[in-house]
């Protein structure tokens, strides 16, 4: 079996998933080819995995500019996409797997016409909501439901993917027509929450499977740590937050407020910050800038008493799983797929923006200690990366078996 994977980046969670699937396919004796554009990150740093670049850095920047000026996202990159499709046709895959396809690196009509006309089996993992909106990848924070009937008058069209003016009504109609016309496509979501949204959208007629994002349990595990001693926190209750791209969406303001109202026995530690974030933090918050050292991150998770995730938009945050794998209970807002990760044995969930309830649960968990390290680790084992990735291989094999049976008939 031959599989092609296409994703908008080689780093971050979606890049890790793409390459993880590629490794799982190779180990199962199948062939795979990965494609990804040139971005700011992989322009200067290459991942430890083979892939083929889609276009060049400058051409992608030009396409992003055209998209921003016109509001026609995915409507350019004609030459780049033609070259990509030529390589895919030469490879002659049995399955083509799409991940994140927004970001100005591919021409969507050309790609989906190829998938439709070649009758190739397609899998599309929806890492966010972009596939069924007129533009935005997330809308929960602004409480918008226009995507159910037709986007228009978008309040966030100037955010990613950024446009000079609102063209979401046209994009909604184009995407609906384009994405709803594929005969042999399976959708995958990382959470039951996102699957439920898909079933309310114009993609509702496609079969949808839930395959959770997973983590490497050999790297994220209960780890001995000198973190408390290094920061003088031996007698403190450590409340940990981890994010990459801190802001209101990730609940940065919630931690700032917590730092002002919680007693001195508590110590807030934020990981993944930068100089800009530091400028707005109270002096009693410990800020640790982004680290690529997983062992260091596992030590911090292991040292914490409670992991707090006040995210306001998230499909399925793996930071919750990472904390549990290191023996640390999770307290999260009831947002997106976040509450699907902890269960009653290892965490609690409060309604989004119910700050009083959050404070109450922090004090209850930290003083009553209802959760054990063993229970947290046991729950994390449900999201073993190897198990989740193997489900993709099984899905591909099922699709190919269906095609073979159809051809025999």
Angle (CA) 103 108 112, round 5°: 140
Q: Which CATH architecture has domain 227-383?
A: 3-Layer(aba) Sandwich (3.40)
Residue with tokens 């008939």: 409
Residue 286 phi/psi, 5-degree rounding, is -85, 125
Task: Measure Cα distances from 376 to 114, 293, 306, 322, 402 in Å.
Answer: 46, 22, 11, 10, 39
In angstroms, rounded to a whole number, what is the distance separating the alpha carbons of residues 66 and 73? 9
Task: Measure Cα distances from 73 to 162, 219, 302, 330, 395 in Å.
Answer: 9, 38, 42, 37, 30
In angstroms, rounded to a whole number, what is the distance separating the alpha carbons of residues 86 and 270? 46
Residue 146 phi/psi, 5-degree rounding, is -65, -25
Work out whether strand 31-37 and strand 52-54 pair parallel, antiparallel, or are unpaired: parallel
Residue whose C-alpha is closest to residue 286's, from 272, 305, 302, 307: 272
Largest CA distance in the chain: 72
Residue 272 phi/psi, 5-degree rounding, is 100, 15
Pair 293, 280: CB distance under 8 Å: no
pLDDT at 41 (0 to 100):
87
Taking the chain (409 residues) in consecutive chunks of 10 residues, what is each chunk's mean pLDDT? 97 95 96 96 90 95 96 96 98 97 97 96 98 97 95 96 96 97 95 98 98 97 95 97 94 98 98 96 95 89 98 96 98 98 98 98 97 98 97 95 66
Neighbours of 45 (CB within 10 A): 9
Work out whether strand 31-37 and strand 2-6 pair parallel, antiparallel, or are unpaired: parallel
Residue 122 phi/psi, 5-degree rounding, is -125, 140
How far from the centroid of its chain's Cα atoms is residue 143's Cα? 20
pLDDT at 44 (0 to 100):
86
CATH number for 2-214+385-408 (one of 3.40.50.2000, 3.20.20.100, 3.90.1150.10, 3.30.2320.20): it is 3.40.50.2000
In angstroms, rounded to a whole number, what is the distance separating the alpha carbons of residues 84 and 102? 16
In angstroms, rounded to a whole number, what is the distance separating the alpha carbons of residues 95 and 107? 19
Residue whose C-alpha is closest to residue 240's, from 221, 214, 267, 217: 267
pLDDT at 290 (0 to 100):
80
* Domain edges within the chain: 2-214+385-408, 227-383
Residue whose C-alpha is closest to residue 342's, from 360, 313, 359, 365: 365
In angstroms, rounded to a whole number, what is the distance separating the alpha carbons of residues 259 and 405? 61
Residue with tokens 């054990």: 372
Query: What's the pTM?
Result: 0.95
pLDDT at 246 (0 to 100):
96
For residue 196 the two structure tokens come to: 């439920």
Residue whose C-alpha is closest to residue 254's, from 241, 236, 267: 241
Neighbours of 46 (CB within 10 A): 13
Neighbours of 354 (CB within 10 A): 13
Whether 2-214+385-408 and 227-383 share one fold: the answer is yes
Helix, strand or coil, per DSSP, at residue 363: helix
For residue 361 the two structure tokens come to: 């649960």
**272: alpha, beta or left? (left if phi > 0; alpha if psi -120 to 50):** left
């Amino acid at each position: 079996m031959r599989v092609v994977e296409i994703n908008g980046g080689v780093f971050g969670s979606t890049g890790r998933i793409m390459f993880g699937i590629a490794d799982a396919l190779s180990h199962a004796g199948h062939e795979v080819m990965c494609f990804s554009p040139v971005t700011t990150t992989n322009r200067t740093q290459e991942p430890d995995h083979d892939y083929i670049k889609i276009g060049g850095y400058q051409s992608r920047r030009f396409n992003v500019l055209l998209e921003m000026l016109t509001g026609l996202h995915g409507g350019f990159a004609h030459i780049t996409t033609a070259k990509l499709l030529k390589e895919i046709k030469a490879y002659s895959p049995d399955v083509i797997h799409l991940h994140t396809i927004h970001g100005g690196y591919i021409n969507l009509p050309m790609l989906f016409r190829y998938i439709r006309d070649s009758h190739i089996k397609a899998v599309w993992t929806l890492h966010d909501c972009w596939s069924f909106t007129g533009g935005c990848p997330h809308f929960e924070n602004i409480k918008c439901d226009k995507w159910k009937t037709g986007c228009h008058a978008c309040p966030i069209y100037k955010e990613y993917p950024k446009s000079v003016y609102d063209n979401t009504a046209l994009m909604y109609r184009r995407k609906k027509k384009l994405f709803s016309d594929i005969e042999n496509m399976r959708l995958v979501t990382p959470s039951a929450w996102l699957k439920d949204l898909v079933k309310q959208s114009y993609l509702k007629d496609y079969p949808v499977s839930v395959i959770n994002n997973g983590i490497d349990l050999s790297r994220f595990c209960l780890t001995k740590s000198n973190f408390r001693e290094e920061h003088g926190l031996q007698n403190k209750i450590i409340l940990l937050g981890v994010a990459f791209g801190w802001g209101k969406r990730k609940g940065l303001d919630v931690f700032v407020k917590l730092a002002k109202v919680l007693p001195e026995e508590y110590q807030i530690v934020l990981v993944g910050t930068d100089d800009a974030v530091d400028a707005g933090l109270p002096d009693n918050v410990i800020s640790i800038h982004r680290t690529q050292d997983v062992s260091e991150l596992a030590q911090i998770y292991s040292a914490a008493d409670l992991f707090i995730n006040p995210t306001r938009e998230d499909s399925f945050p793996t930071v919750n799983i990472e904390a549990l794998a290191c023996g640390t209970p999770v307290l999260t807002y009831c947002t997106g797929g976040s509450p699907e990760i902890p269960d009653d044995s290892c965490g609690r969930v409060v309604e989004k923006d119910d700050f009083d309830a959050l404070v109450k649960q922090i004090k209850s968990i930290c003083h009553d200690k209802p959760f054990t390290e063993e229970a947290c680790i046991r729950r994390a084992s449900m999201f073993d990366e190897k198990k989740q990735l193997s489900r993709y291989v099984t899905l591909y094999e099922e699709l190919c078996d269906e095609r073979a049976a159809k051809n025999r008939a």
